[in-house]
Amino acid sequence: MYAGKLVFAQLMEFAPWHTFGRLVAKYRGDRNVRRFSCLDQVLCMSFAQLTYRESLRDIEACLGAQPAKLYHLGIRGNVTRSNLADANEGRDWRIYCEFAQALIRIARRLYADEPLAVELDNTVYALDSTSIDLCLWLFPWAPFRQTKAAIKLHTLLDLRGAIPTFIHISDGKLHDVNVLDVLVPEPGAFYVMDRGYLDFARLHLMHQAGTFFVTRAKSNSKCRRLYSHAVDRSTGLICDQTVELTVLYSRRDYPERLRRIRYRDLQTNKTLVFLTNHFGIPAATVCALYKSRWQVELFFKWIKQHLRIKRFFGTSENAVNSQVWIAVATYVLVAIARKRLNLDLSLHSMLQILSVTPFEKVPLHQLFTDQGPMPQPPTDANQLILL
């Protein structure tokens, strides 16, 4: 019988805890802490993410049912609701933000060779946001409407491996386009965005930074055609044009030429108009790039279903930020384990298995590869048949 570490402890070994220790020292997270450290907090919250705990009481009851195994999970402090609540309320959320960013850097190196849906050597990002509705009475710091609160997760997703590389948490009132002001463009990369990010002044700054964008044009966008390129209409392409903006303010914000591609979806018969500042790739590739943007929508749907970011364990801004970043760190940590163990399982399947086996003593690779029924012991021929 395997007498090694628990499944949860094996998974946590993939995290760079030396980096976490430096971040705790940087933000003085364990200052005046005697019994429940930042490490205890992040382990308990990661356990809650993996096992789908619903509340602090749920976490306390679940971990309290296995007191002899807490030490082997890496938890040294006393796990109580008050300790967890105080930690979520008072520990600086930037510790877990930068820890998640460190995990993201590791994951991006591991998934750098993942294939894309299109044949491009460039890095391709999908930028979008999702809203999480909250109670205004409990979360007054996140106003959205007159009777509702909400937070927005503005996410930049690397389409190689579906790894979130940038997450900005704001209240529900912040418009999506404002996130371009805090985003640092990467030269040579593609940014795929929907119409909510169509702001010509901001797009021109991205163009000057050497990045490429693909977005949809609005119905009232006015352009003048300068040149038309030949297209294969049997693929759904209608036109591929070089254009310039004609409206005074738009032309002042973006004085360069743009590429406009009109495409009709053969399945839905819907016509789409794309704008990009890249003139070298085929028009069909531009359409395929925008279609791949749907991965960020699937990412939002996935994390809302499988991580605890719709129900929060605390009501303060610090507690919400801490929980979101620990959830992201847990997601990326599972992705790192999947790559380093060279598994063919999806992240969904891995999380389902991890949710019911955190206290088991099984090697991780065996846990994820031996999915068949357990072999039955051979029957003894001398055993009498009673029935």
pLDDT tens figures, 287-342 = 999 988 888 888 888 888 777 777 889 999 999 999 999 999 999 999 999 999 99
- Is 184 a member of any domain? no
Cα–Cα distances (Å) from 301 to 45, 104, 135, 242, in that order, read: 21, 20, 21, 36
C-alpha triplet 370, 372, 375: angle, nearest 5°: 100
Same domain, 207 and 257: yes
**Ramachandran region, residue 380 (left: φ > 0; alpha: ψ -120 to 50; beta: rest):** beta
Stretch 29-50: mean pLDDT, rounded?
91
Sign of CA dihedral 358, 80, 101, 181: positive
Stretch 82-94: mean pLDDT, rounded?
93
Same domain, 79 and 26: yes
Stretch 271-286: mean pLDDT, rounded?
92
Q: Name the least confident of 15-19, 130-134, 299-303.
A: 299-303
Q: How far apart are CA 280 and CA 255, in angstroms?
A: 20
**Residue 373 confidence (pLDDT):** 47
First vs last C-alpha separation in the chain: 32
Q: How far apart are CA 45 and CA 73, in angstroms?
A: 13
- Is 218 a member of any domain? yes
* Bridge-based pairing state of the strands 190-192 and 124-134: parallel
Stretch 170-186: mean pLDDT, rounded?
90
Q: Amino acid letter at 377?
A: P
**Residues 263/272, Cβ–Cβ less than 8 Å:** yes
What is the number of structural domains in the chain? Answer: 2
**Residue 297 confidence (pLDDT):** 87
**Residue 3 confidence (pLDDT):** 60
Residue 194 main-chain phi, psi, to 5 deg:
-90, -170
- Is 233 a member of any domain? yes
- Is 257 a member of any domain? yes
- Is 27 a member of any domain? yes
Residue 380 pLDDT more than 60? no
Same domain, 323 and 266: no
Three-state SS letters, 306-369: HCCCCCCCCCCHHHHHHHHHHHHHHHHHHHHHHHHCCCCCCHHHHHHHHHHCCCCCCCHHHHHH
Stretch 75-94: mean pLDDT, rounded?
92
Percentage of the residues of the chain whose pLDDT score is greater than 70: 95
Q: pLDDT tens across 345-356, in order? A: 888 889 889 999
Same domain, 264 and 327: no
Same domain, 287 and 316: no
Percentage of the residues of the chain whose pLDDT score is greater than 90: 57
Same domain, 48 and 17: yes
Same domain, 230 and 320: no
Same domain, 279 and 331: no
Residue numbers of the domain that contains 225: 194-292
- Is 118 a member of any domain? no
- Is 119 a member of any domain? no
Q: Report the chain's mean pLDDT, rounded to a whole number.
A: 88
Residue 74 pLDDT more than 70? yes
